[in-house]
Amino acid sequence: DVKVTQSSRYLVKRTGEKVFLECVQDMDHENMFWYRQDPGLGLRLIYFSYDVKMKEKGDIPEGYSVSREKKERFSLILESASTNQTSMYLCASSPPLGYYSYEQYFGPGTRLTVT
Amino acid sequence: QKEVEQNSGPLSVPEGAIASLNCTYSDRGSQSFFWYRQYSGKSPELIMSIYSNGDKEDGRFTAQLNKASQYVSLLIRDSQPSDSATYLCATRTKDYGGSQGNLIFGKGTKLSVKP
């Protein structure tokens, strides 16, 4: 079974702090994603990566950065946390691109509260 | 802007009935379609994928795809209270977010199965 793990289930940080969210997958997947999910707004893609050291901006990259130094690990960084970044953060991974594939598997999520 | 539309619900069905969840998508080039189940406070879990027109059955779940009408649906037979969750529809469109193609998610339909 695919396993995607995230470093914390719940996190409380103060405004202005630098926040690191880590995601690890054990299926040797090339592609990894960070989303945030808010009531009424659905899932929104922040950043994604389809190879080590590569990253691409999603729909809402402002205020975030990412790091992918190893294939299995994809980190999301909030450079200076703000209250509007309070959200559920979800990491996902998917196998190499095939024309009909691209199933994404999600980690358990990190509920981040910024006070 | 490529979109995936779902009725937000809640859709309420009695236990043992068939629940029918619907999804329309705007990108005619979409090739892969997915249904995720998300329990409250949890992360999305992939339950069905479908790539060609017609029906695909897996246990109590049937996914139906009609590319001409740009419509995908999920039927849940013999609905159980444990099926109560939000169901997310997602499509993969080839050129969204880069050459790899990412998933676009609907905002989900909340299903409630009453005992």
Q: What is the pLDDT of residues A42-65, one digit of tens each?
A: 999 999 998 898 899 999 999 999
Average pLDDT estimate for A73-78: 97
* In chain B, % of residues over pLDDT 70: 93
* Mean pLDDT score, B84-100: 76
* pLDDT attached to residue B27: 87
- Give per-residue pLDDT as tens, A14-47: 999 999 999 999 988 888 999 999 998 999 999 9
The proportion of chain A whose per-residue pLDDT surpasses 90, expressed as a percent, equals 79
Decide if A13 contacts A112 (C-beta within 8 A): yes
* pLDDT of B98 higher than 90: no
Whether residues B43 and A106 touch (CB distance < 8 A) is answered with: yes
Q: In A, which residues are within 8 Å of B106 by CB distance?
A: 42
pLDDT at A28: 87
To the nearest whole Å, the CA of A20 is away from the closest chain B CA by: 19
Smallest CA–CA distance, residue A4 to chain B, in Å, is 11
Least confident of A59-68, A101-110, B15-24, B88-97: B88-97
Q: How many CB pairs under 8 A join A and B?
A: 53
Is the distance from CB of B72 to CB of B25 less than 8 angstroms?
A: yes
CA-CA-CA-CA dihedral for A6, A7, A13, A19, to nearest 10? -90
Chain B contact residues (CB < 8 Å to A) = 31-32, 34, 36, 42-46, 49, 51, 88, 90, 92, 97-98, 100-103, 105-108
- Residue B46 is inside which H or E element, if any? strand B45-50
Q: What is the pLDDT of residue A101?
A: 62
Tell me how far apart the alpha carbons of residues A101 and B24 are, in angstroms, rounded to a whole number: 20
Residue B37 distance to chain A (closest CA, Å): 11
State how far residue A9 is from chain B, nearest Cα, in angstroms.
10
Q: What is the model's pLDDT at position B31?
A: 82
Output the average pLDDT for chain B. 91
pLDDT given for residue A50 in this prediction: 87
- Is A10 in CB contact (< 8 Å) with chain B? no
Distance CA B99, CA A56 (A): 11
> How many other C-beta atoms can be found within 10 angstroms of the C-beta atom of residue A112?
21
